[in-house]
Amino acid sequence: MAVNNPSDSLVTLTKPRSPVSEAYRTLRTNLEFSSLDKPVKTMVVTSPGPEEGKSTTLANLAVTLAQAEKEIILVDCDLRRPSQHEIFGVNNGVGLTTMVVDDEAMADPPLQQTSVPGLWLLPSGPLPPNPSELVGSRRMEEILAVLSQRADTVLFDAPPVIAVTDAAVLSSKVDGVLLVINAGGTKRDHAQKAKALLEKVNANLVGAVLNNVKMDTSLHRYYAEQ
Q: Minimal distance in Å, beta carbon 62 to ligand ATP?
A: 13
- Indicate which of Mg ion, ligand ATP, none lies near residue 51 (CB less than 5 to 8 Å, by partner kind): ligand ATP
Which of the 8 DSSP states describes residue 108? S
Are β-strands 42-46 and 112-113 bridged in parallel, bridged antiparallel, or unpaired? Answer: unpaired
Is residue 200 within 8 Å of residue 165, measured between CB atoms? Answer: no
Is residue 85 within 8 Å of residue 79, measured between CB atoms? Answer: no
Nearest to 127 by CA among 172, 173, 76: 76
| Count of residues of this chain found to bind ligand ATP when the rule CB under 6 A is applied | 15
Name which position in 47, 64, 98, 153 contacts ligand ATP (CB under 6 A).
Answer: 47
**What type of residue is 170?**
L
Minimum CB distance to ligand ATP smaller for 51 or for 225: 51
* 12 vs 59: CA distance, rounded Å: 9
Task: Considering only residues 183 through 222, tell me which ones interact with ligand ATP, judged by CB under 6 A.
Answer: 211-212
- Which residues make beta-bridge pairs with 208? 179
Q: Which stretch binds ligand ATP (CB under 6 A): 26-34, 54-62, 112-120, 128-136?
A: 54-62
Name which position in 81, 102, 173, 208 contacts ligand ATP (CB under 6 A).
Answer: 81
12 binds ligand ATP (CB under 6 A): no
40: left (phi over 0), alpha (psi -120 to 50) or beta: beta
Name which position in 6, 48, 53, 136 contacts ligand ATP (CB under 6 A).
Answer: 53
Name which position in 25, 28, 54, 85 contacts ligand ATP (CB under 6 A).
Answer: 54
